[in-house]
Amino acid sequence: MSEKLHEQISALVDNEVTDPELLIRQICKDTDLQERWRRHHVVHDVLNNQLSTTPVDLSQRISQAIDSEPVHHSNVSLTRVSQPSRARYIMKQVSGLAIAATVSAIAVISVQQTSISSSGSSQEVAGLNGNTTVAQAQVRFVNEPQKLDNKVQSKLSNYLVNHNEYSITSNMQGVLPYTRVVTTTDQRVVVRSINEK
Amino acid sequence: MRNNPVSIRFTSVFVTFIVCFPGVLLASEHLKDVQLWLEKMHRATHTLNYMGTFVYGQGAELSSVQLIHRTSKIGEQQRMVAMDGTGREVIRDGNKVMCIMPDSQAVVVSKVRPDKQFPPVFPITISNLTPYYQFSISGSSRVAGRKVQIISIVPKDDYRYGHRLWIDDKTGLLLKTHLLNSENKPVEQFMFTRIEYLDSIADQYLVPQNDGKDYTWYESKDGKKADKSKQVGMNVAWLPPGFKHDMKTLQKLPNTAMPVEQMVFSDGLASVSVFIEEELQHDPSNLVGSSKMGGVNVHGRSLGDYHVTVMGEVPHQSVQKISLSVAYTQADD
C-alpha cells in the first residue's frame, strides 16, 4: 500500500478529497484499504472527541447501524444510477462500512470500558457498571492490538503454568492448559492503560 | 357427593409427587452419569500412556501439536511440541515444567506444586455446580477413529464459559473439546487427529528437540519460598456469582524480580488467578491492558507500588472486572 494512498484515505476521512469515487471503489475492493480506512476513522473520531466515554450498548449500536443501512441486492446495477447519486450511493456504502467498522473497532476497545486519546491528554473514564465500581482508569489508547513484548509473553507463560497448577478446569483437561503455552506465539495486547487508580 | 378437601389436597400432592419424582430421579441419575464420565476423563488424562497429534484452534488460528504423555514413579511426564510456528516445547517432568520458547529465545523452568499428590484427586462435584451450569450427555460420535461420548456443560450466565467434551468411550481420554462463549461459539478448540495408547513409552520420546543452549534461562531454585510476612494486603472486591477463594500462595517465580502472590478463585469448575507483584519501578515485562492465551483471558494493571495480573478460563469481562476490583486492605511493611 503506497504512502500516497494512505494520505488519500486520511484526506477522505476528513472530507478533503474532491473526487472520492475512484478511491472509494478501491477501498470497496481491498480489505487492507478497508482496515486502513477503519483505523483512520477511529483516530479521526478520537481527535474530534466523538468516541463515547460512557459504557456502550454495542448490540443497540450495531442494530442501529444495520437499521440505517439500505437493503443491498447483489443484482442492483450501478449504471442505472445517475452520476451524483451514484457517488452518494457508493459513499453511503462506504459510510455504512465505516459505521460497522467503527462499531467493531469500538467493540474491541470499548469492551475494555475505556476511552481513547491520541495525544497523551488522556480522558478519565468510568469504571465498570455493577455493584462494585472500584477503579477508575485514565487510559491511553492504542488504536489497534499490538504484539506483546517477548518479556511480557515469557512472564505470562510463567504465570499461566502456575495458574494451571491450581486451575480446576486445567486439572480436569490435563493436556489443554499447556497447549496454550506451546501455541501462543502471537499474543496481543488489546489496550494499554496507564495511571489506573 | 362433595369431595373431602383433605383428600383432594392429598391426591394433588400424590399426583405431583408421581409426576415429578421420576424427573427428579432422572435428573439426579443424569448428573451422576456426567460425574462418572468426568471422573473417568480426569483419571485417563493423568494416568494413561499415550502419544498423538492434535490440532488446536483459537479464533481463526490453527496449530498442530505433538503430544507424548506417560506416568512413572515420579508422576506425570509429558512432552508437547508445536509442529508449526517457532516450535515451542513444553516438557513436564513430575513437578517441574520447562517451557522452551524459540520466539522469545527463552527457557522458563518452573517448580510447581510439590504438595500435589499423584494421581490427582478429581476436584469437581457436579451437584454443587448446578446453580451455575447445566450438564448433559449429548450423545455419541467419533473422533480420531474412536467412539466418543459427548458431554455438554452450559453456563447459566455470561461470566463463565461453556464446555463441550468428546470423551473416548473406552479409555476416557478427552479427544476433543470446545470452550464456548455466551453465543455458543467456540473461543478455543482442540481435537486429536491421531491417538495411540501404549503400555510403555521410551525415555527418548520425552527429550526436548531444542536444548535451548543459547537462550536465556529463567529457573526457580529450590528453597526460594518467599517470606510470608511480606504478603501483600490486597482484597478482591468483586467476583462472579459462585466464585470463592480457593488458595493463596507467595513465591519467587523464575522470571520475576520480586516475590509474587497468587490468589486463586473458583466456582468449582472455572478458575481465576490473581497475581500481585511489587513494582517499585516500571517493569516492562508486566502486562498493562488486556490479552488472551486461547481460552485464558488476562488483564494487568498497576496499583500503587504493585502490579496486578488476573488470568482465568473465563470471558474477558469477568477477568477485567475482577482486576479492576482489586484494592489495598493494608500496606506492605
Burial label, A119 (beta-carbon count in 10 A; 0-12, 13-18, 19+): exposed
Task: Decide if pLDDT at B94 tops 80.
Answer: yes
Q: How many CA atoms lie within 13 A of A169 on its CB side?
A: 29
B301 vs A120, which has greater pLDDT?
Answer: B301
Residue B18 belongs to some domain of the structure = no
Reported as a pLDDT band with limits 50, 70 and 90, residue A188 is: low
Residues B68 and B201 reside in one and the same domain: yes
User: Are B202 and B281 in the same domain?
Assistant: no
Choose the final residue of a domain: B179, B206, B233. Answer: B206
**Three-class SS of residue B11?**
helix
Placement of cell 491450581 in the chain: A166
Q: Which residue has the cell 486520511?
A: A10
Last residue of a domain, one of B206, B235, B267: B206
Is residue B122 a part of any domain in this protein? yes
Residues B174 and B225 in one domain: no
User: Could you tell me if B52 and B156 lie in one domain?
Assistant: yes
Mean pLDDT taken over chain A: 56
Q: Are B274 and B249 in contact (CB under 8 A)?
A: no
Residue of A111, A155, A157 to mutate when probing chain B, most B C-beta within 10 A: A155
My answer on whether B232 and B202 are in the same domain is no
What's the mean per-residue pLDDT of chain B? 85
What residue in A sits closest to B172 (Cα-Cα)?
A173
Q: Which of A163, A176, A184 sits opposite B311 (nearest CB)?
A: A163
Q: What is the pLDDT of residue A23?
A: 77
Bridge partners, residue B50, by sequence = B69, B197
Confidence tier at A70 by pLDDT (50, 70, 90):
very low
Q: Does B211 touch chain A (CB under 8 A)?
A: no
Q: Does the residue B270 lie in any domain?
A: yes
Provide the CATH number for the domain around residue B256.
Answer: 3.30.200.100
Long-range Cβ contacts of B161-166 (<8 Å, 24+ apart): B161/B187, B161/B270, B161/B295, B161/B313, B161/B314, B161/B315, B162/B133, B163/A169, B164/B138, B165/B38, B165/B41, B166/B141, B166/B191
B226 in the same domain as B286: yes
A153 to chain B, any CB pair closer than 8 A? The answer is: yes
- Coil, strand, or helix at residue A51? coil
Evaluate whether residue B94 is within a structural domain. yes
Contacts of A129 in chain B (CB under 8 A): none
Q: Would you say residue B81 lies in a domain?
A: yes
- The phi, psi pair for B100, rounded to 5°, reads -100, 115
State the pLDDT confidence band at B39, using cuts at 50, 70 and 90. Answer: very high
Evaluate whether residue B31 is within a structural domain: yes
Give residue B140's pLDDT.
95
Among A138-152, B52-66, B127-141, B163-177, name the one with the lowest average pLDDT: A138-152
Is B214 domain-assigned? no
pLDDT of residue A186: 53
Same domain as B228, residue B151: no
Distances in whole angstroms, Cα of residue B277 to Cα of each of A17, B71, B194, B280: 52, 34, 42, 10
Question: Is B261 in the same domain as B200?
Answer: no
CB contacts under 8 A, B 54-113 vs A, are: 54, 56, 58, 61, 63, 65, 67, 69, 78, 80-82, 85-86, 88-90, 92, 97, 99, 101, 103-106, 108, 110, 112-113
Q: Residue A76: its pLDDT value, please?
A: 33
The proportion of chain B whose per-residue pLDDT surpasses 70, expressed as a percent, equals 84
Alpha helix (H) ranges present in chain B? 5-47, 126-129, 316-325
B272 and B128 in one domain?
Answer: no
Looking at per-residue confidence, does B332 or A20 come out higher?
Answer: A20
Cross-chain CB nearest to A159 (options B63, B275, B295) = B275
**Within a domain: B14:** no
- From A155-169, B76-90, B111-125, B256-270, the region with the lowest mean pLDDT: B111-125
Residues B185 and B37 in one domain: yes
Return the higher-pLDDT residue of B80 and A145.
Answer: B80
Cα distance between residue B100 and residue B90, in whole Å: 6
Any idea which of A109-118, B23-32, B137-146, B302-311 has the lowest mean pLDDT?
Answer: A109-118
Q: Provide ipTM, 2 decimals.
A: 0.80
Q: How confident is the model at residue B222 (pLDDT cuts 50, 70, 90)?
A: low
CATH number, domain of B180, equals 2.50.20.10
B219 is written with which cell numbers? 529457573
CB–CB of A134 and B325 under 8 A?
yes
Query: What tens digit of pLDDT does each residue of A9-57 get?
Result: 777 776 666 677 777 777 777 777 777 776 766 665 545 444 433 333 4
Chain B hits for A173, Cβ within 8 Å: 45, 174, 177
Same domain for B175 and B319, yes or no, is: no
Q: Is B321 helix (H, G, I), strand (E, B) or coil?
A: helix
> Is the pLDDT reported for residue A194 higher than 50?
no
Q: Is residue A133 scored above 70 in pLDDT?
A: no
* Residues written for chain B: 333
Which residue range is the domain that position B160 belongs to?
A: 27-206
pLDDT in tens, A143-157: 456 777 878 888 888
φ, ψ at B264 (rounded to 5°): -115, 135
Report how far Cα B11 is from the mean position of its chain's Cα atoms.
Answer: 49
Q: Which residues of B touch A109 (CB under 8 A)?
A: none
pLDDT at A120 over 50: no
E runs forming strands in chain B: 50-58, 61-72, 75-82, 89-93, 96-101, 106-111, 133-143, 146-155, 162-168, 174-180, 186-197, 216-219, 233-236, 244-251, 260-266, 271-278, 289-293, 296-303, 306-312, 326-330
Which triple of cell numbers denotes residue B200?
510403555
Query: Domain end: B143, B173, B206, which one?
Result: B206
Q: Note whether B167 and B276 are same-domain residues.
A: no
CA distances from A13 to A3, A9, A115, B76 (A): 16, 6, 21, 58
B-interface mutation test, from A116, A168, A193, most B Cβ less than 10 A away: A168
Whether residue B154 has pLDDT greater than 80: yes
Q: How far apart are CA A196 and CA A189, in angstroms?
A: 17
Number of domains in chain B: 2
Radius of gyration (C-alpha) of chain A in whole angstroms = 21
SS3 A183: helix
Q: Is the pLDDT of residue A74 over 50?
A: no
**Nearest in space to B324 (alpha carbons), one of B241, B247, B242, B235:** B235
